[in-house]
Structure 1
C-alpha cells in the first residue's frame, strides 16, 4: 500500500469545517512522485472506500483511513495517466452510499475569463458566474452536476449550501481563484431546480448567507434562495429579429402599452399572459409592450424597482423559459417588448447584494454616494470595474438571452447627479468640482453602446427628468447614447393644463405650446405612465374636470393630442379605457369598464389612433426635427384650440403637396366651435379621418360629415383655409384626399 503524501495537519481542521480558501489543494486526488494521494471529507462515516478506475480493468477498491475531523485519506501508485477517475463509497451503519467527489474537477473558469472579469470587460458574465448545469465524460460514467461561481473578493472563505446537501455547506467549500476575487466549485449530482445560497466567511469572523447575484432563477418571494436553471427554449421569432435589425426604431412608429404584469390581470402566469395579453394588445394596435421590472424583487409593492436578483426573471409568474415564451409570442404577433431596467440602486435586504462579502462591495462605500435616502436603498459603486461589468453585462443579458427589443432605464437623473435629493454638505463634488456623477455617466455610455451593438434594432430609453444635455446624443459625440428620453415636461405641463376647468384654460395656454419650444432638443417619448395614476394622483379620468361624460371626452382629447404630438407614445394599462380608480398593484384592472359604452368608446378610439398612427408616416417618421411639425395656429388661447400638422415631407424628400400630411385641430374648450376657420397647408378636399366626438367613441357626433373643402382663402399665413365644426374637448384629424 502506498503512503499518502505528507501534509501540514494544521490545515485539516479548517478544511473539515469548510473554512479553507483552497480546499482543492487538500481534497481530491493529487499526484506526488510515484504516488496519488486521495482525500475526501465524509464526517460521521464508519468507513470510506475509494473506487478507482483501472486501466482496461475493473475498478480497484482502496480502503481509506480516517485522519481528522471526518477527513479520510488513501494513497495508490501513480500511473502514466496522472490522477485517476474515482468515486467515494461511504458506509454509515447499515447503509452504504456511492458519490462523486466535487474536489476532483478542474476550475470551470479559464484564465481569459478571469482576466476579463478583472478588467470589467466580460460582456457575457452570466456564462461564467452563477450556477450552470454541466456534463463531463468520465471513465466510470458520465458526470452531471452544476458549477457555482461567485465574486466575493473580500471573503475569507465561501461555501455553497442547498437542498442537495441538506443546507450544510461545510463539505462544499469553494476554491479561491486568486486575485480575481472569484470562488468556484463544481458539485456532481445537482439538477435543474435545485435551490442554493452562498455562505460567506467575512473578514470580521461572521458567516453570512447570500443569494447568488448572478442566479438566473430564484424562489418565489418571500422565499429568497437562488435556483439552478437551464434554458431549453426554442425561439420562433427569427422573422421578427430580422425585421428589427433592418429597421431604425427611432424613426419608426412606436406606441407602447405599459404593463405591470402582476396586476394587469391578477394571477396570470407568463404563459397565460402570452395568450391574453397578446390578444388584447393586438386588438388595441400598440406596436410595443413595456413590462415594468421583472428581475426578481422581494417586495411586490416596489413594483419591481427594488431588485435583488438582476439576472433572474421573477418566479412569481413562472420559470425563465416561460418569460421567453411570452416574449416570443409577442414577437410572432408583431409586437415589440421593452423591459424596465433598474441600474440606479438596489435594496438593503441582508440576503442579497447589500454588503455582499461583509464589505461595501456592490454599493459605494461612501454614504454620500452609496445611499439613496429617498428610497432607503444603496447606490451602486459605478466606478468599480467589476460592478460596472455586472450592470453592463446585465443589460446585454436581457437583450440577448430574452430577445427584448429595448430597455427603459429607470431613475437616470438619480444616477447623473451627486447632489440628487441631497442637502448641502451631504454630497461631495466630482474631481472637477461639479455635481455630475462622472462614473455613472461612463457606465450609462458603455451600457448604451454595448446594447446597440449586441442587439441591432433595439432601443435604449431614459427616464430622465432634468435638462441634462445630450441624453440622446451618441456616445461618440460625447452624449449618454440613449435612443429616446421620456418627455416629463410635456407630461407635467399637459396634465396640469387639463386639470384646470375649461373656462380657466385660456390663462394657461402657454403650458400647451411650451413643449414645442424644446420638442426637438432630444429624441423624446411622451409618457403617460404608472407614476401619474398612483399615490393619490388619481387616474387620467379622475384628473379631468366636469361630469362623467365630460371627463371621458377629456381623456379622448388627451389621447388624440398625445398621438399627434411629436415624439413616441407610452400609455399605462387601464388608461386605454379610462379606468376610474387610480392604479393599485394589489388588484387587477377594472375590466368591467369595457361593458360601459363610454369607457368602451375610449378603447375604440385608441384602436383608431393606433391604426392611423401606423398608417401615416407623418405621425412618426420625423419626430425629432422641426420639419415634421408645423403650426397652423398656436395662439388661439381664448378658444382653447391648437391647430398644426404633421408631415414626413423632409425625410421622404418630396414636396409637401406630395407628402403624407395629417392636420390636427385640437380643442380643449368646453364649448363646440361652429364655423371655426382653420388654415390648411394646401388646397383640395380633406378627409376627416378622426373625430374624437364620434358616437362610436362615446361622443355627440359633432363633426364635418367626413369631408372638408380647402378654399383659396389665405389665413394665418397659409394660402388655403376651411371652415369646420370643432367639438368640445375634441380633436379633428384631416388628411388630403388623393
Structure 2
C-alpha cells in the first residue's frame, strides 16, 4: 500500500492517523462542521469563505497557533499543501479527505499571515498540478500566482453610512456613477493613495457613486479585470485587502457609494487556477459546447452544479459583507442567458425543453440577486444585459432575474448613433434620439456611457461627433445635459468628464494634462455643475421608474434637431429640459411650459464659463391661462434646464 493510500484510508471514519507529519493536525482546528458539509452539498452555504480556504487560528491572548486549510476537490486522488513554509514540497503536508464531500483539510502549526501557498492536486490520471486556492482572500502580486494567508484587522468607520443605507431606495434617489479602472485612473496609486485623491476628485465632480472595473484578482492586466482567477481576493496590485477596505471606508465617509464589477459568466483557462481543478471539469462544463466561450477563449461555469452556484453566490455576498460594497454590476449577463450566445448552428446544446435559454444560469442569477437583497438592504444589483430578455429587473418571485437596474444599452447605441450623423442629416434620424422613451419604463434602467465605448478603435466620446473642435465639445456638453435629464440613472467612464482626446489605454492612463486647457476644463466644470444640479432637483430622479415622471413638450422637431420634455417630482414640481442638437441657435423658440410662474435657467451647457457661446435666458414669467407659450433662447449644440422659481 502506498504512503498516500495508507494516509487517507479510514480517515473519514475517524480512525487515528499515524502518518501525519509532525506539526500537522487533522481536525482540532477544522473550520467545517456537520451543518457546513450539508449546506455545501446543497449549494446553500452563504458564508462559504468562513469554512473553505485558509483560516488563521489564535489562542485567547492573540498568539498565533497556526492555519487551517481546506479545499473542495472531489475527484482528486490526493491533495497536499505546498508553500513557503515547506519549501513547496508536496510530501511534507498531505491533506486529508473529510468524509464524502470531496473537501480536503489540514492544520499546520505556526503558519500565519503572509505565507504563500497552493494546493498540489493529484488528478485521476496521477498527474500533479499546483493550484491557487479558489477561496483565497489574498494573492501574490501578478504575475506571481500563489495564494496568501491573510486575516483582517480593519476597524470600519462607516457606521453612519451603513445605517443610512438600510433605508436607501436607489430607484427613487439620485444615482450618478463614475466608472473607474483603478490601475489607469492615475497610474501608480495605491488603495491608500486613492483614498485621498480619488475621493477628493469624485466629491469635486459631484458623482454619487464610484464603480470599479473588476477589483477581483486577475493575472492578465489587459483583461482589465474581466478574466478573474480569484473571486474572493482584491487585486494585490494596489495593496492589501485591508487597504482596499480603507478605500471603501473613505468613500463612504465622504458620502460616496461603491459599486464593483463582478464576473460570474466565465473564467480563464490558466491551469494553476480553476480550470480542470481536480483533473476534471469541476467548475466548468465538460462539454465545450456548454463550457467554453468562443469569443473570449475562456471557460463557462457549470451553473447547474450546486457547489459551483454556491461558490458564485458566496463570492457576491463576500464583497457585500466583508468590504461593505454597495452594489455589484454583473458583467456579460447576455452571454450567460443564451446557450447559443455567439455560437453557430451545431455549436450549442438546447435546454431540456429544446430552447436556447440557459435555465441553470437563470437560476444562478436569481439566487445571487435574491440572496444579496435578502442580506443587504439598500444595495444595487445591476445587470449589463444587452438583449430584449424580459424581466431583468422584475422580482424573482414573479420569475424575473431580480436585478435592481439594467444598463440601457439601446439608449446608449441609439444616442451615439444619432450624434455621429452630421447635424443636417439628424432630421432623418430623429427617432434614434426619441425612441428610448417608448421603452424607458419596461425595466429599471441605468444609462451608461461606459469603457466599452472608448476602446478598441472606437475613439473617445468627444471625437465621435462631427464638426469643428468647438462643435465637438459643445455636443459633448449637450449630451451630458440631455443624459442627466433623461429617465434612468447615470454612468460615465473616467476621462470623458474632461473630454479626453484619446481613446482609453489602460497602459498609459488618462490625459490629465488636458484639464489645464480651458476647453477641457470647461467640460469638466459643466459636468460637475450638472451633477450638483441633478442631485438637488428631485424632479430629475424621484420618478425615474414611473412613466408619469416624464412628459413630452417637443418630441417631433426633427428639422430643428430639438427636443423638450418635463421631469416631474413626487410633489408635482416640474423641471423642463430642452436640447438643441443643431449648430444653429433657436431665438424666440416657442416652448409650452407646464405651469404658470417665474422660470429660470438652472443648467445651460452653452454658458461662457464652460466654453460655450454664452446664449442664455434671463428669468421670465409665464401665465399658462393667458399665454400657453413662452419664447426662449435655445443655444446651439446645447442643453438647457429650466426650473420654476
**2:605 counterpart of 1:692:** yes
SS at match of 1:289: strand
1:133 aligned residue (56, 74, 98): 56
Equivalent pair of 1:29/1:38 in contact (CA under 8 Å): no
SS at match of 1:514: helix
CA distance in 1, matches of 2:271, 2:65: 32
Measured after TM superposition, the shift of residue 544 of structure 1 is 1.2
Q: Which has the larger radius of gyration?
A: 1
CA distance in 2, matches of 1:421, 1:25: 45
Measured after TM superposition, the shift of residue 517 of structure 1 is 0.6
Distance 1:23 1:328, change over 3 A: farther
- Work out which structure has the larger RCO, using CA pairs closer than 8 Å and 6 or more positions apart in sequence: 2
Equivalent residue, structure 1, for 2:356: 435
SS at match of 1:354: coil
Distance 1:324 1:40, change over 3 A: closer
TM-score normalised to structure 2 length:
0.97
CA distance in 2, matches of 1:267, 1:304: 17
**2:220 counterpart of 1:273:** no
Measured after TM superposition, the shift of residue 454 of structure 1 is 1.3
**2:620 counterpart of 1:708:** yes
1:14 aligned residue (4, 8, 23): 4
CA distance in 1, matches of 2:92, 2:527: 61
**2:447 counterpart of 1:447:** no
The within-5 A match list for 1:574-613 is: 574-613=495-534
CA distance in 2, matches of 1:23, 1:355: 27
Equivalent pair of 2:56/2:150 in contact (CA under 8 Å): yes
The within-5 A match list for 1:314-329 is: 314-329=235-250
Equivalent residue, structure 2, for 1:109: 32
CA distance in 1, matches of 2:105, 2:512: 50
User: 1:338-359 CA deviation, whole Å, 9 max, x = no partner?
Assistant: 0000000001011100000000
2:318 aligned residue (361, 376, 397): 397
The within-5 A match list for 1:475-624 is: 475-624=396-545
1:293 aligned residue (191, 211, 214): 214
User: 1:170-220 CA deviation, whole Å, 9 max, x = no partner?
Assistant: 121111012211001011111100000010011111111100000000001
CA distance in 1, matches of 2:12, 2:191: 45
CA distance in 2, matches of 1:249, 1:188: 47
User: 1:538-561 CA deviation, whole Å, 9 max, x = no partner?
Assistant: 101111111111111011001001
CA distance in 1, matches of 2:437, 2:10: 66
User: 1:254-277 CA deviation, whole Å, 9 max, x = no partner?
Assistant: 000000000000011111001000
CA distance in 2, matches of 1:245, 1:349: 40
Measured after TM superposition, the shift of residue 402 of structure 1 is 0.3
Structure 2 unaligned residues grouped into runs of 5+: none
The within-5 A match list for 1:59-208 is: 100-103=23-26, 105=28, 107-135=30-58, 144-208=65-129
CA distance in 2, matches of 1:23, 1:269: 49
Measured after TM superposition, the shift of residue 621 of structure 1 is 0.6
1:679 aligned residue (589, 592, 595): 592
**2:131 counterpart of 1:210:** yes
Number of aligned residue pairs: 645
Equivalent pair of 1:23/1:173 in contact (CA under 8 Å): no
Measured after TM superposition, the shift of residue 38 of structure 1 is 5.7
Distance 1:157 1:446, change over 3 A: same
Equivalent pair of 2:26/2:96 in contact (CA under 8 Å): no
Equivalent residue, structure 2, for 1:7: none
Structure 1 unaligned residues grouped into runs of 5+: 1-9, 31-36, 42-87, 89-99
Equivalent pair of 2:80/2:121 in contact (CA under 8 Å): yes
Equivalent pair of 2:12/2:99 in contact (CA under 8 Å): no
2:633 aligned residue (706, 725, 733): 725
Measured after TM superposition, the shift of residue 713 of structure 1 is 7.3
2:292 aligned residue (364, 371, 378): 371
User: 1:78-119 CA deviation, whole Å, 9 max, x = no partner?
Assistant: xxxxxxxxxx6xxxxxxxxxxx34357363311111111111
CA distance in 2, matches of 1:143, 1:286: 44
Equivalent residue, structure 2, for 1:53: none
User: 1:675-701 CA deviation, whole Å, 9 max, x = no partner?
Assistant: 111110012210111111001111111
Equivalent pair of 2:24/2:93 in contact (CA under 8 Å): no
TM-score normalised to structure 1 length:
0.85
